[in-house]
């Protein structure tokens, strides 16, 4: 007799890791917005850190290179660590754009940045090892869980632009084997200052001198996927440029997805100590997380077209910067008029950090907004605006800060956004 098993069937046991793995809060929110939008609701959806290709297409020259590679039948397996020509082009790109010196054997290519982050965790952590990371930050809690590690949260503050400091890390560093950092930071669009990052590097170096050569060191995962997207006077700093001795302990994560609006192309790269990169290569190879070969060929050719790269980066920075500035000025105006909102000056990436200080206010129906979830729901239902609260990135549920992502925003959207938002705020009491 056939037996139908349901989700509640007791015999369907899974690993403890899988049983306790939670889904992405951002994807859950985005799925809800999609359902409502498909039903005809007009929602300003600025939740996902992606680009609308109709507003921000990939570089035309890169598209041409991809088509050529497919026409040339470059569709078989790539090499496990990425095509040599791709790694050489990346090495050149890092040198010319950031004075970062890594050769092709210290670089690993994968299908986007995510497998590289996962491989870093797997390569340097044993079960039970501690990972220090700031909140809000993107997915470090999930990667720690997948690696069966111990999460050490550093709750950051707006006074430090939500970036962690050495003073916040120092009390826990003796127990850590990995510090996960990102600059420019997702979700805030803020960056490390020179001293802020330098102090963290000095802390890591001091700790590793104490541990000696026979004890596993504390490593730094440095995600700089947004480093090409900086605005105004913002300068991107990286650990090894500030402290060359950090080269033994730093694993970088980088790629095409953000600066070139190429989230769907899936070409990312990591670089760091060759032994660790080799171990990460084995992990990537076993899970088959290679970047598509045709796209690798295209990226190798495109990154060497300096004038085309300059033109594209200048344009996308200008367009993203205009949107970030327009949203920032709109929030600044509302704040000056006495509404309970705020924003941090745009620094980098495609995100604006905004605040809704609305706890305790009453809606038109007389309901009091008692927590961030209720505020989020009110803004969505009454202003038709979808944003991601920082608690989706690990911050406390009481945090009233949010991420606004502009990769899907037209300039026309900015005007409509503030018409809706002002109306919703005016109806609160």
Task: Give CA–CA dist 305/375, Å, rounded.
Answer: 47
Contact 204, 179 (CB under 8 A): yes
Residue 233 corresponds to which tokens in the numbers above? Answer: 């006077």
CATH code of 16-41+310-426, in short, is 3.90.1150.10
pTM of this structure: 0.94
The C-alpha torsion from 104 through 107 and 111 to 114, rounded to 10°, is -170
* CA–CA distances in Å: residue 165 to residues 169, 171, 179, 293: 6, 11, 12, 40
Provide the residue-wise pLDDT of the chain in tens; the chain has 429 residues.
455 555 555 668 899 999 988 877 777 777 888 888 888 889 999 999 999 999 999 999 999 999 999 999 999 999 999 999 999 999 999 999 999 999 999 999 999 999 999 999 999 999 999 999 999 999 999 999 999 999 999 999 999 999 999 999 999 999 999 999 999 999 999 999 999 999 999 999 999 999 998 899 999 999 999 999 999 999 999 999 999 999 999 999 999 999 999 999 999 999 999 999 999 999 999 999 999 999 999 999 999 999 999 999 999 999 999 999 999 999 999 999 999 999 999 999 999 999 999 999 999 999 999 999 999 999 999 999 999 999 999 999 999 999 999 999 999 999 999 999 999 999 999
Task: Give CA–CA dist 394/392, Å, rounded.
Answer: 6
- What are the strands of the beta sheet with 388-389, ordered from one edge? 341-343, 351-356, 401-405, 388-389
Contact 271, 238 (CB under 8 A): no
Contact 181, 211 (CB under 8 A): no
Ranges in the chain annotated CATH 3.40.640.10:
60-305
Ranges in the chain annotated CATH 3.90.1150.10:
16-41+310-426
Fold designation for 60-305 = 3.40.640
């Amino acid at each position: 007799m056939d037996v139908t098993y349901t989700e509640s069937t007791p015999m369907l046991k899974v690993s403890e890791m899988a049983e306790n793995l939670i889904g992405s809060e951002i994807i859950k929110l985005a799925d809800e917005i999609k359902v409502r939008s498909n039903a005809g609701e007009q929602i300003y959806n600025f939740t996902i850190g992606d680009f609308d290709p109709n507003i921000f297409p990939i570089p035309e020259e890169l598209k041409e290179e991809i088509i050529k590679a497919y026409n040339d039948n470059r569709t078989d397996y790539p090499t496990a660590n990425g095509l040599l020509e791709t790694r050489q082009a990346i090495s050149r790109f890092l040198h010319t754009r950031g004075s970062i010196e890594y050769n092709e054997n210290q670089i690993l290519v994968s299908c986007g940045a995510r497998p590289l982050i996962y491989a870093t965790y797997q390569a340097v952590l044993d079960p039970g090892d501690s990972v220090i990371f700031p909140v809000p930050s993107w997915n470090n809690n999930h990667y720690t869980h997948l690696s069966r590690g111990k999460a050490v949260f550093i709750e950051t503050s707006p006074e430090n632009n939500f970036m962690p400091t050495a003073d916040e890390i120092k009390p826990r560093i003796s127990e850590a084997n990995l510090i996960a950092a990102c600059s420019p930071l997702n979700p805030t669009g803020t960056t490390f200052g020179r001293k802020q990052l330098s102090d963290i590097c000095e802390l890591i170096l001091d700790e590793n001198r104490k541990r000696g050569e026979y004890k596993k060191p504390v490593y730094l995962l440095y995600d700089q996927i947004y480093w090409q997207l900086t605005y105004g006077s913002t300068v991107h700093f990286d650990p090894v440029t500030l402290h060359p001795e950090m080269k033994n302990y730093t694993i970088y994560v980088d790629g095409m997805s953000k600066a070139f609006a190429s989230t769907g192309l899936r070409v990312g790269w990591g670089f760091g100590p060759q032994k660790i990169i080799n171990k990460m290569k084995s992990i990537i190879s076993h899970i088959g997380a290679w970047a598509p070969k045709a796209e690798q060929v295209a990226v190798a050719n495109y990154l060497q077209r300096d004038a085309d790269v300059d033109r594209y980066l200048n344009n996308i920075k200008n367009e993203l910067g205009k949107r970030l500035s327009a949203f920032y000025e709109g929030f600044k105006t509302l704040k000056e008029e006495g509404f309970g909102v705020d924003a941090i000056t745009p620094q980098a990436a495609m995100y604006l950090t905004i605040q809704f200080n609305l706890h305790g206010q009453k809606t038109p129906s007389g309901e009091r907004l008692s927590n961030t979830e209720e505020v989020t729901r009110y803004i969505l239902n009454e202003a038709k605006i979808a944003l991601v609260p920082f608690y989706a990135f690990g911050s406390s549920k009481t945090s009233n800060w949010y991420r606004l992502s502009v990769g899907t925003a037209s300039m026309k959207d900015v005007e409509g956004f503030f018409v809706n938002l002002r109306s919703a705020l005016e109806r609160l009491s």
